[in-house]
Structure 1
Amino acid sequence: MSPDSAMDGIDGRVPPSAREITTGQANRVWSVEGPMPYILKHYGDPSRAANEAAALRLLTSHRAPCPQLLAASRGSSTPPWTAQAALHAKPVPIDRFLPDLAEPLAAIHRIPGTHFGRLAGAQQHRSWTGYLHDRLRTYAAAAPALRAVARCLHQEVDASDTPIQPVLLHHDLQPGHLLREPAGSRLLIDWELAIFGDQRSDLARLAVRLGLDDPTPVFALASQPGATAEGRLHLYWRIHLLADAALSTDRAVREWAAGRLLASNVT
């Protein structure tokens, strides 16, 4: 069977022989065997499905390190879904995560964007500052107790406003999302939160995902080092802490993020 004919049979439904490999809370994922094995992903949020499909198409056009998109839902399909080529790869060990991340991340951050914000399924912004203000308003609305923190961050965003050229960001970097193929190539998976923006936001979100008390250890991954860049990294780190404190479904995560914000003297 040719690859094209195999893809023609993918319609988003879960075959009887599929094996569920769900690990997160928002989506369900299956491994499907056959002439062309693939990963079937059902999304709780249609905008995330549209965004991941758009990100994978863009990455493929740039020959970037990502899974191949085989098919995706269209319109009002319920549930929204994507089918991605199965990978013969394993997660990079935690002690190798940062060193192995450097090369694929640099390749991704070379892909230029056309706007700021998600690639599809959400509002697009003309400026990075506008995108950040929009996110801060969302966090403040979700967590009224943190509105004072959000106001301080709004002011810092305005004070640091400089022209930013948008590039592709993964925006959910964490152990488990970086895989190593048998030949040694590294691939990044799970692109549903991808955006166009400032590359330092990717590093700041990574620092939050790693539970770091300070984002400095990830600064070595920045392609544009310098005092101004490091200052922006710390600002974005606090914004991502606020996001977790306001929106995480895990109470322990919310409490840790809120505590870290207080410790960083944002208020």
Structure 2
Amino acid sequence: MNGIDGRVPLSAREITTGQANHVWSVDGPTPYILKHYSDPSRAANEAAALRLLATHRAPAPQLLATSPYDTPPWIAQTALRANPVPADNYLEDLTEPLAAVHRIPGTHFGRLAGARQHRSWSDYLHDRLHAYATAAPTLRATAQLLHQEVEADEDSIQPVLLHHDLRPGHLLREPAGSRLLVDWELAIFGDKRSDLGRLAVRLELDDPTPVLALADRSDPTTESRVHLYWHIHLLADAALSRDPVVRNRAAKRLTACATGQSRDRDAFTT
């Protein structure tokens, strides 16, 4: 788009919200959002996700311009006249836009761009679990148990688009009532139930039961898979989060889960 080159105009207003990235709102004949990234692969991934979403007319901003390998990497996307959906309406308002996203088929498993692509969903999960255990050796035992759970499940998953960072603030409501999902840098192709497991972590739930309202309950494996993904995303936070509060909270929930499962096994065998 003419006039957008990744540089921050003097009139831009920074709207960064505690992320590693920097974000500005830029006024003008065509207002837009400018985003600078610390990681070029995330810039490339978000640009690829926005292009795909536009192809399917899905509920998301439009990509205006990008150069993911500039210094710093950046994208520009349409500014939205919208406000975050209130927390007490979040799950209800998320239902329709998330279903639209999950109808978009994928071509592989993993990030859309800027990262390794995987031939199967289980390969992707094993790769992520290995990364978490490498980053946090004290959590290797937990990662190994999750490896075993992934291995035990039949992997017949067909990839679809996942937002993979669902949380309050990333779902907006326009004045006309339309709901839009923003911040697509972590988007992947995978099992749509993984979005629900990650959402349960971002909502700081003690178990993922409430997010099952968004799931297809006709599949008898849905509940167990959402629980598995919830544990994997907790492990991700415990191993990789830069925020010590998030990291410690995830580790405590993982410990509580392991303790509860141990009690259940003991009760069953006595």
Which TM-score band (shorter chain)? over 0.9
Q: Which residue of 1 aligns with 2:265?
A: none
User: Counterpart of 1:25 in structure 2: which amino acid?
Assistant: Q
Q: CA deviation at 1:224?
A: 4.8
Whether the aligned pair in 2 keeps the contact of 1:106 and 1:223 (CA below 8 Å) is: no
Superimposed CA distance per residue, residues 125-148 of structure 1 (whole angstroms, 9 cap, x where no aligned partner): 000000000000000000000000
Whether the aligned pair in 1 keeps the contact of 2:120 and 2:155 (CA below 8 Å) is: no
TM-score normalised to the size of structure 2? Answer: 0.94
TM-score normalised to the size of structure 1? Answer: 0.95
Does residue 97 of structure 2 align to residue 104 of structure 1? yes
2: CA distance between counterparts of 1:223 and 1:68? 29
1: CA distance between counterparts of 2:179 and 2:27? 23
The percentage of aligned residue pairs carrying the same residue is: 75
Q: Which residue of 2 aligns with 1:14?
A: 8
Gaps of 5+ in 1: 1-6
- Structure 2 residue corresponding to 1:64, chosen from 47, 58, 63: 58
Q: CA deviation at 1:227?
A: 3.1
User: Counterpart of 2:195 in structure 1: which amino acid?
Assistant: D
- Structure 1 residue corresponding to 2:187, chosen from 189, 194, 204: 194
- Structure 1 residue corresponding to 2:112, chosen from 119, 144, 152: 119
1: CA distance between counterparts of 2:217 and 2:256? 27
Large movers: runs of 4+ above 4 Å: none
Whether the aligned pair in 1 keeps the contact of 2:121 and 2:155 (CA below 8 Å) is: no
Q: CA deviation at 1:177?
A: 0.3
User: Counterpart of 2:254 in structure 1: which amino acid?
Assistant: L
Superimposed CA distance per residue, residues 174-205 of structure 1 (whole angstroms, 9 cap, x where no aligned partner): 00000000000000000000000000000000
1: CA distance between counterparts of 2:218 and 2:34? 39
Whether the aligned pair in 1 keeps the contact of 2:164 and 2:188 (CA below 8 Å) is: yes
Q: Which residue of 1 aligns with 2:250?
A: 257
User: Counterpart of 2:59 in structure 1: which amino acid?
Assistant: P
1: CA distance between counterparts of 2:218 and 2:227? 13
Q: RMSD of aligned C-alpha atoms? A: 1.0
Q: Which residue of 2 aligns with 1:153?
A: 146
- Residue 221 of structure 2 aligns to a residue whose secondary structure is helix
2: CA distance between counterparts of 1:264 and 1:243? 15
1: CA distance between counterparts of 2:72 and 2:27? 21
2: CA distance between counterparts of 1:55 and 1:261? 31
1: CA distance between counterparts of 2:49 and 2:89? 25
